[in-house]
Structure 1
Amino acid sequence: MSTEDFDQFHWMLDMVQHIDMGLIVLDRDFHIQMWNGFMVHHSGKHAKDVQNRSLFEVFPEINEPWFRAKSQPVFDLRCRSFIVWQQRPYLFRCRHVRPITGQLPFMYQNVTMHPMANTRGEVNHMFISIQDVTNEALASQTPRATAPSQQAAQK
């Protein structure tokens, strides 16, 4: 491996750990293989404490039969699967980024499950991306104030 290749690999690892999005890799048995910095920060669970453990052991609040069914197309059909906050507020009960000014008890999440093929084309892992959409959820739940120019036009 050249120095340039090693640098690029290092940069990719740094991005995965510091991106403002949760990234998790699960195997077909739903054991956690990778847990990025976003998940450490928001869940309070360190990677060394969750790695190689069952997702359902670490997060017993996740409905296992539902999640297995939701994940099946990812593994079997090689297609993405989505969970949007309007249907289910969160997959992982996590803190949001506005603990003082925030009015919500948890982080609202959009979740995408992606198939991960190995070099033989087999899908034995998936990665889950978690997007914090708490601000969007809060905005949709808060009545919007009418702008002064709109108030004048309404009179």
Structure 2
Amino acid sequence: MLAQASSSTALQPGEPLVQVRCGPWRALIPLRYVERVLAAALPTALPTASPGALPVVSLAGQSVPVLFGEALLGAERVALHQGDQMICLNDGVRRALLWVSAAEDILPCEAAPGTPPGEFSAALQGAGGTAVLDIPRLLAAITAGMPPARRDD
């Protein structure tokens, strides 16, 4: 089943998903949560941020937290590369940037059997079992103070 607990966040068959590459992995993001795709910009920490705070990038004067796709998918360390991209995620209330190697394609949602891996996966997609990220849960975790992913500069 593709549905989450709330019908407003339920994935629908055929719904467009953005396929992203995060290092050696691929993941999918429901297109309805993608505000835009940007060239990666080196994040910084807020001067008043507590230790362990998420890095941020300024978008139109607003500090937007940055998450690293590779870390969400299991990498212990994340290397940043020239040519990487950031996906601006927006659920109507909260925003975040997801740092990825590349936004690759738009695919229709197709259910796959199995339990989605990890805390932030909503479903599995297609024969390969690619994880569909649960964007509302991910954005809620940021608000609740999810720890940042480590990165290698």
Q: TM (normalized to structure 1)?
A: 0.27
Relative CO higher for 1 or 2, CA cutoff 8 Å, sep ≥ 6?
2
Greater share of residues in strand: 2
Larger Rg: 1
